[in-house]
Structure 1
């Protein structure tokens, strides 16, 4: 970046691309303030050099909106996303892939605020357009179907969610392969739908499948593998299989502590689950002792 500034100048398109790439690196590291500062710098420069509605300028604005979204600054994100959508419709067309991505981003902002109806309306719009423009089994089309399924899931519309999730799984198996990470995520989502309906055996079958495949494809300590262990442990607990659930959660906690660190939210989630389960087991055992004592007392009295 510094070399580009010296050789090409501070506002040369290649220099701005370098700055944008650095902002993206900060974004991926969760360094939102630093990413935001560079995003704003690139936007202002691109407006001057390329124009307010140049595709690269709009990409920069979209990047800043994404930074806001990841900080929970919903109003700021929404304002920029609407701006990008309208500009891309004018410049690129209503069903251009980049326009549809912008609409999907706005749907995500609504989704994260629990505005399900608004999110659903946009998700359906994007899904139908992507089917027409990209094809029914294009990865981006499948992402749209998956997003809509998650919205149904959050509204407790299990049948609708399940139907779409099965559709995505089958398509991803064909397009990406049975053990592709995205395919495994889809299977995990369906397992979650089963879990929330109390369909423990069906959830368990899928979760075991995901966990074993994740170990092979991603590695035994990959965060996604550990998530699959965590989820399966909850299903085992729901089935009343306390010993197996506790052991699996202990293994998950140990691996997360080593891989992610003790203060990572996922590690703390496993730790919290273990503490709660131990407390629940203690209460259950105390109840059993009390009940046993009462029965013995009755027998003595007779």
Structure 2
């Protein structure tokens, strides 16, 4: 350490912590720079085989993995694991964290043979060293469940999530909780329990909304990074709701992604003033009773977990006989509460699956309370005003049209990648290329690899067919004269007035 100021180590720690913050908020560019600076300082101060170096290697590898840069991530994970094992031993929790991360990398690459034993090994270490109820055990259970679900082995995945959810709930860690809730929702989709999937999708979104409220005083750019990184959770739920015909609920979820726009330009709430909103996904009448039970169990688990954590801290200095007795009782109560939670999950899924088709149709209708005020606002804005929500997904462009009288859904058969290519090619033509005679959409759809030869009007027509054609007849029927567009993804970069319907 000769020639290196001692304060450098604290600087490196601070850089790592700030980098993790940026990473959690989805700002990977800033996070990468800070992680690299921290690693460079630690290697200079400690050499190449120190624990702090291993931690920084692991952090940087996680960042690369989040960006799907597996080639750079794997050697960093391997190097970090070698240091952890040499310094801490093969059964240390930090070793398990590194193993778990490497397993997830192999899963993302489809290398299941290498991933499964690593997931199982990480879980065993966490359970043996930290106890079966530790939050890291829940993370590990969740990851192993994802592994089995990816391979279609739902019978092994579900009990792992049933164990993970109550642990996540009582841990008081929203970041862990929304992840487990979201994965449980996805599992229910794979098992065709769509109503239960929607219920837990709403729980995941509501947990994220609570986190958004907590960061409301941070810079707006960081708030936007946070929601951008988690947008797929909202979009996943919105698609489920659209496919089930529950359009008012889908519209509500999509509005959450752009809350400031929604409140400032749609609701025009004078008291909102630019404050970040924390709307929660609402539950219909059928879901509400289950949501209330869920909340009651959650509150019990959180209260028990909080008191147990407090006693754990006090135990470092020694507990009185009364406190030891209380801790024993709390542990017993926690086991009972978790068993009740698992029983509740089983009961909920069965009840949602057994709901009659008529009851299922009523799900969306019961949430009209949010649709009617919106339609009333559209009437107040003047004759012919309608609202159009767009949602870009991997395989389709989803559209929700709301008029003063009806709300309906339409689709365009275009995926995100093709849409993105077309939007940016169209903008490039508008800015730099000459207009050419219209040749129709067929040329673009059949010669995607020859985009440069396609004229400006070709792109304008294709984009019109995707963005407005699906609702063209509906707009005419509604006698729409003013369109309020809530655009998603690259649609924000489309000059709507430049689109071409093909009519001379």
Q: Which residue is 1:129 aligned to?
A: 125
Q: Which residue is 1:248 aligned to?
A: 249
Greater displacement, 154-163 / 25-34: 25-34
Q: Which residue is 1:297 aligned to?
A: none
1:150 is displaced (CA, Å) by: 0.8
Larger Rg: 2
Q: What do residues 10-46 of structure 1 show as CA deviations (whole Å, max 9, x unaligned)?
A: 9732333344445445544555455444433433332
Q: How far apart are the structure 2 equivalents of 1:163 and 1:115?
A: 23
1:202 has 2:196 as partner: yes
Q: How far apart are the structure 2 equivalents of 1:74 and 1:213?
A: 30
1:206 is displaced (CA, Å) by: 4.0
The TM-score, its normalising length taken from structure 2, stands at 0.45
Tell me which protein shows more helix as a share of its residues.
1
Q: Which has the higher contact order (CA 8 A, sep 6+)?
A: 2
Q: Which residue is 2:160 aligned to?
A: 164
Instruction: Pick closer, same or farther for the CA change 1:167–1:23 going to 2, 3 Å.
Output: closer
1:272 has 2:397 as partner: yes
Count of residue correspondences = 265
Q: How far apart are the structure 2 equivalents of 1:188 and 1:253?
A: 17
Q: 1:186 aligns with which of 180, 184, 196?
A: 180
Aligned 1:39-188 pairs, distance under 5 A = 39-173=35-169, 175-176=170-171, 182-183=176-177, 185-188=179-182
Greater displacement, 63-72 / 14-23: 14-23
The TM-score, its normalising length taken from structure 1, stands at 0.70
Instruction: Pick closer, same or farther for the CA change 1:42–1:189 going to 2, 3 Å.
Output: closer
Q: How far apart are the structure 1 equivalents of 2:210 and 2:42?
A: 45
Q: What do residues 275-297 of structure 1 show as CA deviations (whole Å, max 9, x unaligned)?
A: 694138x99xx9xxxxxxxxxxx
Q: Which residue is 1:296 aligned to?
A: none
Q: How far apart are the structure 1 equivalents of 2:409 and 2:72?
A: 41
SS at match of 1:150: helix
1:102 is displaced (CA, Å) by: 1.1
- Structure 1 gaps of 5+ residues are 1-7, 287-302
Question: C-alpha root-mean-square deviation of aligned residues, in Å?
Answer: 3.9
1:129 is displaced (CA, Å) by: 1.3
Instruction: Pick closer, same or farther for the CA change 1:260–1:44 going to 2, 3 Å.
Output: farther
Q: How far apart are the structure 2 equivalents of 1:189 and 1:134?
A: 23
Q: Is the 8 A contact 1:257 1:267 kept in 2?
A: no
Instruction: Pick closer, same or farther for the CA change 1:32–1:169 going to 2, 3 Å.
Output: closer
